[in-house]
């Protein structure tokens, strides 16, 4: 397996953001390829991505028939990356919240780790343009999941991550059912259960300036419910449970 890197960009109604983001990513790390996974955006994001791909052979596009969630989009992208021989796979929000200029930091760290998290809550990390309520919700969600699932990482919900392709195999993607906020928690829990080496590097997270946020209260509620269920099952299930395979309700 090569060390070629693929950055996955899940999109739904990101017509204002996708072009500038792709330009910044290509400038920041010219050796990385990009995969836009578009969920049938009614605002034409998919068509813009197709035009970007026509102009640049490092840009690829997957079209899905409709909106089916962040987790499903990433799983589709992971499968595509494995089929095409990429050795490193990166998750990145398509709304500009994750700075392309910090991607090299994640790629440097993944040379010696199985999984790298771009963390807002380690020294050097930061959040810009979030109201106090959103900042509090994020930190509280991370703290609850860390305590319930015994996760040692500081930022368990960050969506800026790099994985070695072999690590995705060990995580066990077939059983993952979570979406959005909860998808990131489940991926990290499985990575810890599988005994993978996990590093955190500081990033600056900037709230989107264009378009509408996809975060909804029900997504956070789903995450907390699943985390509670997984924690209960981990404590009540027999010690022989296979590592990296949390059960689903």
Let me know how many helices (H) and strands (E) the chain has, helices first.
8, 9
Task: Please give the residue that has the higher pLDDT: either 208 or 206.
Answer: 206
The residue with tokens 């739904």 is: 12
Fold assignment, 5-236:
Spore Coat Polysaccharide Biosynthesis Protein SpsA; Chain A (3.90.550)
Spatial distance between the Cα atoms of 152 and 169, rounded to a whole number of angstroms:
22
* pLDDT, tens digit, 9 for 90 and up, residues 61-106: 999 999 888 999 999 999 999 999 999 999 999 999 999 999 999 9
* pLDDT, tens digit, 9 for 90 and up, residues 23-74: 999 999 999 999 999 999 999 999 999 999 999 999 999 999 998 889 999 9
Q: What is the mean pLDDT of residues 153-180?
A: 92
Whole-number pLDDT of residue 185: 95
Helices (H), ranges, 29-84? 45-55, 70-83
Domain ranges of the chain: 5-236
Q: How would you classify the pairing of strands 88-91 and 161-164?
A: antiparallel
Residue 10 near residue 179 (C-beta atoms within 8 A) = no
């Amino acid at each position: 397996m090569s060390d070629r890197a693929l950055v996955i960009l899940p999109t739904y109604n990101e017509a204002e953001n996708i072009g500038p983001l792709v330009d910044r990513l290509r400038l920041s790390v010219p050796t990385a390829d990009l995969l836009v996974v578009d969920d049938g955006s009614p605002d034409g994001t998919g068509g813009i991505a197709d035009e970007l791909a026509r102009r640049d052979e490092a840009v690829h596009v997957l079209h899905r028939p409709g909106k089916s969630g962040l987790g499903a989009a990433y799983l589709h992208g992971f499968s595509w990356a494995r089929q095409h021989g990429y050795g490193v796979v990166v998750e990145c929000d398509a709304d500009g919240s994750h700075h392309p200029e910090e991607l090299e930091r994640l790629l440097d760290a993944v040379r010696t780790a199985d999984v790298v998290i771009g963390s807002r809550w380690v020294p050097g990390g930061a959040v810009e343009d979030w109201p106090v309520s959103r900042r509090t919700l994020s930190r509280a969600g991370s703290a609850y999941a860390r305590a319930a699932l015994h996760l040692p990482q500081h930022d368990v919900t960050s969506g800026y991550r790099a994985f070695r392709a072999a690590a995705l195999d060990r995580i066990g993607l077939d059983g993952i059912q979570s979406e959005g906020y909860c998808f990131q928690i489940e991926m990290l829990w499985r990575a810890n259960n599988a005994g993978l080496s996990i590093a955190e590097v500081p990033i600056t997270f900037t709230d989107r300036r264009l378009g509408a946020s996809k975060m909804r209260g029900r997504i956070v509620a789903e995450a907390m419910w699943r985390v509670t269920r997984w924690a209960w099952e981990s404590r009540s299930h027999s010690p022989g449970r296979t590592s990296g395979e949390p059960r689903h309700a």
